[in-house]
Amino acid sequence: MKRLLCLMTLSMIWAAGSAMAGIVGQPAPDFTLTDLSGKPVTLSSLKGKYVVLEWVNPECPFVSKHYSSDNMQKLQKEATAKQVTWLSINSTRPTHSDFYTPEQMRAWTKEQNAVPTATMLDKDGKVGKLYGARTTPHMYIINPKGELIYAGAIDSKRSSSPSDVDSATNYVRVALNEAWAGKSVSTTATSPYGCSVKY
Span 113-127, pLDDT tens digits:
999 999 999 999 999
Query: What Rg value do the Cα atoms of the chain yield, rounded?
Result: 16
Which domains are seen in the chain, by residue range?
A: 2-196 (3.40.30.10)
Span 118-151, pLDDT tens digits:
999 999 999 999 999 999 999 999 999 999 999 9
Task: Give the pLDDT band of residue 21 (cuts 50, 70, 90).
Answer: low
Quickly count: other Cβ atoms within 10 Å of residue 188's Cβ: 16
Q: Find the angle CA(85)-CA(38)-CA(103) to the nearest 5 degrees.
A: 95
Q: Whole-model pTM above 0.75?
A: yes
φ, ψ at 170 (rounded to 5°): -85, 100
Under 8 Å between Cβ of 63 and 193 = no
Statement: residue 184 has pLDDT above 50: yes
Span 101-114, pLDDT tens digits:
999 999 999 999 99
In angstroms, what CA-CA distances link 126 with 32, 53, 69, 170?
10, 14, 30, 28
Residue 171 identity (one-letter amino acid)? Y
Q: What letters, b where the CB count within 10 A reaches 16 and e where it falls short, cover 3-31?
A: eeeeeeeeeeeeeeebeebbebeeebbeb
CA–CA distance, 100 with 92 (Å, rounded to integer): 8
